[in-house]
């Protein structure tokens, strides 16, 4: 009887330790995702790249940038060159706030992988006294990301971004708002690398569409109460589009 009790206690302790480890994983993943937002805020693109696994990828405007080479192509060769003139850090008059919101984080039972659904609502633009094309806009989008737990350079197991899938939903100028946003205001990527030296390695299929399209991005998790898959009905999401 005592042996059975000890075995039960050992099993309970193992479950408690595992559940605690999962909660610690969730905390670390949230920390990394929030830090991603802080880095993007201040155009710290070198630091952004270091958040990714060597096999990581980014989905952006209909394109998929694969591996560290693709991630660098997007954040450093494209964003850093265009937004901060090659400088790793903020520049005068450049606003690019990326709040990270509504994070739903699910860690796999083996603690090797995780999925994250979240949101960003961006405020961005260039001040009228700064060099360049003065503008101000709002932007909102969803993430359906994957994380992987693997060794860093010191041999420690840490969480890294495996796939950052950003689905921009709506854009709007500060002056006019989102109600007057033209259809296909920001065109999706069509040309791949190396034909486009800054282009993605592959295209998202099907290509997403921006507001006033209202497609729902698929959920990585089931309905939290019923446990059933979350069924999407996007049949009316693009009624105003001609194609």
Q: pTM for the complete prediction?
A: 0.94
DSSP assignment, residue 79?
Answer: I
Q: Write the pLDDT tens digit of every residue in 64-122.
A: 999 999 999 999 999 999 999 999 999 999 999 999 999 999 999 999 999 999 999 99
How far is Cα 230 from Cα 117, in angstroms, rounded to an integer?
A: 14
pLDDT of residue 242: 79
How far is Cα 114 from Cα 74, in angstroms, rounded to an integer?
A: 24
Which residue do the tokens 């949101």 mark? 119
| Listed range (34-43, 48-57, 151-160, 179-188) with the worst mean pLDDT | 179-188
Specify whether the CB–CB gap between 103 and 117 falls below 8 A.
Answer: yes
Specify whether the CB–CB gap between 56 and 160 falls below 8 A.
Answer: yes
Q: Write the pLDDT tens digit of every residue in 33-80.
A: 999 999 999 999 999 999 999 999 999 999 999 999 999 999 999 999
């Amino acid at each position: 009887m005592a042996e059975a009790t000890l075995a039960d206690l050992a099993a309970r302790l193992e479950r408690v330790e595992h559940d605690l480890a999962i909660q610690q994983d969730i905390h670390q993943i949230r920390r990394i995702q929030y830090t991603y937002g802080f880095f993007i805020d201040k155009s710290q693109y070198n630091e952004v790249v270091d958040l990714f696994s060597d096999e990581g990828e980014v989905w952006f405007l209909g394109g998929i940038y694969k591996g560290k080479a693709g991630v660098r192509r997007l954040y450093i060769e494209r964003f850093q060159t265009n937004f901060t003139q090659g400088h790793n850090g903020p520049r005068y008059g450049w606003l690019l706030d990326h709040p990270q919101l509504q994070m739903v984080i699910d860690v796999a039972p083996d603690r090797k992988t995780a999925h994250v659904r979240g949101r960003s609502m961006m405020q961005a633009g260039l001040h009228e006294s700064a060099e360049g094309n003065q503008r101000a806009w709002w932007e909102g989008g969803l993430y359906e990301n994957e994380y992987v737990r693997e060794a860093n350079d010191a041999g420690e197991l840490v969480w890294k971004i495996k796939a950052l899938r950003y689905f921009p939903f709506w854009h709007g100028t500060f002056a006019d708002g989102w109600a007057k946003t033209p259809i296909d205001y920001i065109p999706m990527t069509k040309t791949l690398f190396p034909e486009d030296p800054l282009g993605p390695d592959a295209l998202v299929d099907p290509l997403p569409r921006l507001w006033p399209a209202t497609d729902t991005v698929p959920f990585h998790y089931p309905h939290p109460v019923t446990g059933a898959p979350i069924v999407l009905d996007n049949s009316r999401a693009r009624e105003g589009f001609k194609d």
